[in-house]
Amino acid sequence: MMRYVVETEKTPEQALADLTEAVRKHGFGVLHTYDLKQTLSSKGFDLPNACHILEICNPQQALNVLNEDMGMNIALPCRVSVYSEGGKTKIAMARPTRLLGALSDSLNLETIAKEVEEKMTDMIGDAL
């Protein structure tokens, strides 16, 4: 499956705070956090669920990807979502191995994607 999704007992806000800390702990940075519910509300649309999207990046890994194939910029930065659905809080990401694998046959990119995916699943695990 392309998506990696886990549930947590935490509120979306607490899961977001814990994920943000886990991202930093694992050597990545948060480039931007979107509050999709707030953004849509400001445009006159009501999203009934919380939805926070983090753009995260490890500069060295991003450079490795781009040095291998500059066209892979379309898959960067990595995104992780914290959202509510059906009364539950979920944390989700697109698996880097599947995403880059769908865009390239490069064995070097496959190796990088595996390393990044392992770190990202660890980050998400730390936020649970």
Query: For the segment 26-68, what is each residue's pLDDT rounded down to a tens digit?
Result: 999 999 999 999 999 999 999 999 999 999 999 999 999 999 9
Q: Which domains, and CATH codes, for the chain?
A: 3-127 (3.30.310.70)
Q: What is the average pLDDT across 103-115? A: 95
Q: Which residues pair with 14 in a beta bridge?
A: none
Give me the pLDDT at residue 98, please.
Answer: 96
83 confidence band (pLDDT: 50, 70, 90)? very high
The answer to pTM > 0.75 is yes
